[in-house]
Amino acid sequence: MHAPSPRPAPLLVFDLDGTLADTAPDLISTLRVVLAQEGVPPLPYDEARDMLGAGARALVERGLAAAGRTVPKQRIEELFHAFVAHYGAHVADESRLFPGVAAALDALAAQGFRFAVCTNKLEGLAVQVLEALGVAHRFDAICGQDTFREADGTNIPKPDPRMLAMTVEKAGGRLDRAIMIGDSETDVATARNAGTPVIAVDFGYTTIPVPDLNPDVVISHFDALPAAVAALAKAMA
C-alpha cells in the first residue's frame, strides 16, 4: 500500500512596493517630476510615501488632491502616462530590496516553497523593477493591476480577491495552499477576501499601524519570514 503523497508546500504570494522592495524613492521622485508639470511644488517625502500602494494613477490623483488641485479626467490620464514613461526609465535608480529578502527566498526555496508577486503596480513595471533588482527569475508569476481584466477591459486590482486567485492559478498553485505577504490594508483585505492567510511586514507603506490590520503574523525583518511561513503552513497541513 502506497503512502499518501505529501501536500505541496504553500505558494507564497508577495506584494512588491513596501514589501519586497523599498521603491518609494523612485516613485516619489517620479511623482514630483510629473506634478511639476502642473506647477505643484515637491511634496514632502513622508507625505508622499503615505500615498503609495494603489498604483500610479491613484498616486497621481492623491498627489494632486494633497496640493489642492482639481484637473480634468483627461489631464489625469495624460499625467498618468507621463508618470509611467518617466518611472519606466528610473525604476531602480534608488530602489532596493529590503534587508534579508534574498536570504529568506533562498531558505524558503530550499524547503520547497515557490513564489509569486501580486502587486497593484502595472505588470510591465513590476517585472522591470524585479529584473533590475535581480530577483525576477525567482517568481513563477508576476502579476500587476493590469494583468487580469473584466469583460469590458477594466483592470482587476487588489483588494479584489480574484486578482490573488488568478495570480495563484497563473503560478500553478492552489488558493487553499497559498499565503499572502504584504504591507498594507489593501494586502490584508485581499487575503481576507480570498480566505488566505496573510503575513504583514511592519516597515512598508501604510498609514494604519500594521498590528491594527490584524494579519495572521507581523514581522519586522525578512529574517523572521521562514519561521512565520512555517507556522502558517503547519496550521494549513
Provide the residue ranges of all domains of the chain, joining segments of one domain with +: 11-23+96-236, 24-88
| Residue whose C-alpha cell reads 490584524 in the numeric block | 214
Quick check: pTM over 0.85? yes
* Average pLDDT for 139-147: 97
For the cut 90, the answer to whether the pLDDT of residue 129 exceeds it is yes
* Average pLDDT for 137-158: 95
Q: Which residues contact 139 (CB under 8 A, 6 or more apart)?
A: 14, 115, 116, 117, 130, 171
Q: Which residues contact 211 (CB under 8 A, 6 or more apart)?
A: 202, 218
Instruction: Return the closest-CA partner of residue 20 out of 122, 142, 110, 111.
Output: 142
Which neighbouring-strand residues pair with 97? Answer: 21
pLDDT at 14: 98
pLDDT digits (tens, 9 = 90+) for 172-213: 999 999 999 999 999 999 999 999 999 999 999 988 999 999
Kindly report the average pLDDT of the chain as a whole number.
93
- In sign, the C-alpha dihedral spanning 172, 173, 174, 178 is negative
* Average pLDDT for 164-168: 98
CB 91 within 8 A of CB 131: no
Q: Which three cell numbers stand for residue 230?
A: 512555517
- In sign, the C-alpha dihedral spanning 20, 25, 31, 33 is negative
CB 231 within 8 A of CB 211: no
* Average pLDDT for 6-32: 92
CB 13 within 8 A of CB 181: yes
Q: What is the largest CA-CA distance in the chain?
A: 75
pLDDT digits (tens, 9 = 90+) for 69-118: 888 889 989 999 999 999 999 999 999 999 999 999 999 999 999 999 99
**Of 48-52, 62-66, 107-111, which gets the smallest average pLDDT?**
48-52
Q: How far apart are CA 218 and CA 225, in angstroms?
A: 9
pLDDT at 61: 92
pLDDT at 224: 98
Which CATH architecture fits 24-88? Orthogonal Bundle (1.10)
| 236 or 187, greater pLDDT | 187
DSSP-H helix ranges across the chain: 24-36, 45-49, 56-66, 73-88, 101-110, 123-132, 161-170, 185-194, 225-236
pLDDT at 57: 87
Instruction: Place 58 in a pLDDT band, splitting at 50, 70 and 90.
Output: confident
Q: DSSP states of 196-216 as a string?
A: --EEEESSSS-SS-GGGG--S
Q: Which residues are catalytic?
A: 15
Q: For the chain, report the end-to-end CA distance as a whole number of angstroms.
A: 22
- How many CB atoms within 10 Å of residue 180? 29
Task: Give the domain 11-23+96-236 fold.
Answer: Rossmann fold (3.40.50)
